[in-house]
Structures are given as structure tokens and as C-alpha cells.
Chain A
Amino acid sequence: MAESLESLFDFVHMEIVSYFLNKPGKNIDNDVIQNLERLGFSVGQRLVERFTKDSPRFKDELEIMKYICKDFWTAVYKKQIDNLRTNHQGIYVLQDNNFQLLTQMSDGKQYTEDAPKFLAFPSGLIRGALFNLGLTCSVSADVLSMPNCKFQIVIPQS
């Protein structure tokens, strides 16, 4: 059952990506990515509102980040982030060695070009979650080789 739910999310996500790609009208890659990102942003906000209903108050930025890596990631992708790094000045790098939404694509570099389209929604998800937790930031995603990917979060320091 769990697996089928997981697949459901995977497949719906694929369909969303292709829907945006094939939408009539002019579809510059950039627009597609932006739309997907915004979609993720909305979803992220709502998700985190629900997920954090029973969590204690977060102490600081790092604690929020840890929450994203553990609880949030597990809830969405059934696993934790493999590696979290930070410079303690607002930059965080989240590394997932086996990112769920990329596992369906063949390994290596064959589809690296298309990866951004599949990482836009997850990036937006992170940004929306962090935004609703009070952190405004930008999120960019990067694939070195499938299905290993990194999300870089930059929180502007004021």
C-alpha cells in the first residue's frame, strides 16, 4: 500500500511535469520550471502547516533545517536527506543520494539535461516549507549523476 502511494506521487509528478511542458502556448523551459517551482511553493506551505502542527517550537534556523531533512523529507520521500552541510551564514546544502523522483530515470548522465524540470517542484516544496516556517530563501537544485542530487538553500542575511 505504501509503495502504491509512493508510486502515485511519482506518477502524478511526472504527469504534472509533462503537462506543463506540453501545455499549449509558448513554453520556454524557464517558464515551465518557474511554474513547477511555484506549484511546489504552494504545496510546501500547506504541507508544512499540517506537518508541524504537533512539533515543538523551533529554536533556530538550523533546527528548522534539520526538521526539513528528517521529518519533512521522510514524510514526503520516505527517506531522510543523506547529508546536510552549512556555512552557518545562511547557506545550506542538502544532499540526497537516491532522490525518489529521479530513481525512475536511468543512471548516469543520459537525462541530466532534463533533470531541472523534475527538481523544480521539489525545490519549490522546500522553499514553500521554509517560507511558511518564517525563512525566506532561494532554493536551487543540482544533479551530478542520477539519482544523486543536491539542493542548495540560500537565506539572505540581513
Chain B
Amino acid sequence: MAVCVAVIGKEVNFLGYLAVFFLFDEILFLLQNYPLYLRTVSPEEELKFHYTVHTSLDVVEEKVSSLTKSSNDPRELYLGLLYPTEDYKVYGYVTNSKIKFVVVVESANTALRDNEIRTMFRKLHVAYTDMFCNPFYNPGENITSRNFERTVFEMMKKD
């Protein structure tokens, strides 16, 4: 199924924040568009996927801003296909808390329908929320939760 799953942190209006609070410590942990989590099927390809996921953020941003502008659209969290490359298809999903999920699947895998991708993202979101609400996680930290990891491995399992 998926060959790469990534979770990317939010982007905060820092200057606005600083203007109000003058506090660094509270937000220091909030990294701008920082990769909170990235797993690939084959670790040796990780760097490649880092680039893929990183550049896909451009499309995510574009889609989010164009989707929110048009009010008629069903404002889904699922963004659909971000872009296809020769070998891969990159899908995106953004939570209301501006956390971005990116899933990369192989283009060759035609069995995957949009609906299945959607389900995959829902699972990922549920896992993320559970992880976020566990007391040992501080917002903005890298994700190390086992439960979350399990969900991701499930998604990347070849079937």
C-alpha cells in the first residue's frame, strides 16, 4: 500500500504571537512545518521521500488556500491527490489543527481507489489524535508513540 507516510507540523504566525505574549518558551517547541514523523517502506530511500514530502507541501498550501476560498466545496480534510509523479502518487490531508498528513503510494498500484486512500487518512487521523491526547506527548514534538507507529506500519503493509 503506502510507501511513505509523513506527518508535518503546523505553521504559526510567530510574529503575531510574539507581539501578544513575548513568550518564547511556550512556543519554542512549535516548529514551522516541521516533519513530526516520516516513515518509508525502505529506509534507504528516506531522503528521496523527504524531498517528495517536502515539496508536496507547496501543493498542500495551494489546495488549502484555494479550497477555503471557494465556499461551495465540501470542506473536507482530505485533499485528494496532490500530484502524481512517474512512480508515485502523493496524497494529502490537513487536520483542523493544521497538521498535515502526506501519504505516498506507488503509481503502479492501481488497485488503490480514492476511497481507500480516504480511509487510510481517517485511520491516521484517529491515531494522531489519540497520540496527541496522551499525556506524554507535548505538541510539536516528534512522534514516537508505538500505537501510532503500529497504525502506520499497518498502512504500509504490502498486501
Q: Do chains A and B touch in the complex (CB under 8 A)?
A: yes
What is the interface of chain A, defined by CB distance below 8 A to chain B?
38, 41, 45-46, 48-50, 52-53, 55-60, 131-134, 136-138, 154-156, 158
Instruction: Give the residue of A38, A45, A53, A156 whose beta carbon is less than 8 angstroms from that of B16.
Output: A156
Instruction: Give the residue of B10, B26, B95, B129 whose beta carbon is less than 8 angstroms from that of A38.
Output: B26
Q: Cβ of B41 < 8 Å from any Cβ of A? A: no
Indicate if the CB atoms of A137 and B95 lie closer than 8 Å: no
Known: A49-B133, A50-B133. A57 touches B20 (CB 8 A): no
Q: Which residues of A contact B97 (CB under 8 A)?
A: 45, 48-49, 52, 132-134
Question: In the complex, A41 Cα to B25 Cα: how many Å?
Answer: 13
Q: Cβ of B136 < 8 Å from any Cβ of A? A: no
Indicate if the CB atoms of A156 and B75 lie closer than 8 Å: no
Known: A56-B75, A136-B12. A156 touches B19 (CB 8 A): yes
Question: What's the tally of chain B residues with a CB closer than 8 Å to chain A?
Answer: 29
Question: In the complex, A50 Cα to B139 Cα: how many Å?
Answer: 13
Question: In the complex, A52 Cα to B95 Cα: how many Å?
Answer: 8
Q: Cβ of B83 < 8 Å from any Cβ of A? A: no
Indicate if the CB atoms of B67 and A57 lie closer than 8 Å: yes
Identity of the chain A residue whose Cβ is nearest the Cβ of B134 in the assembled complex: A46
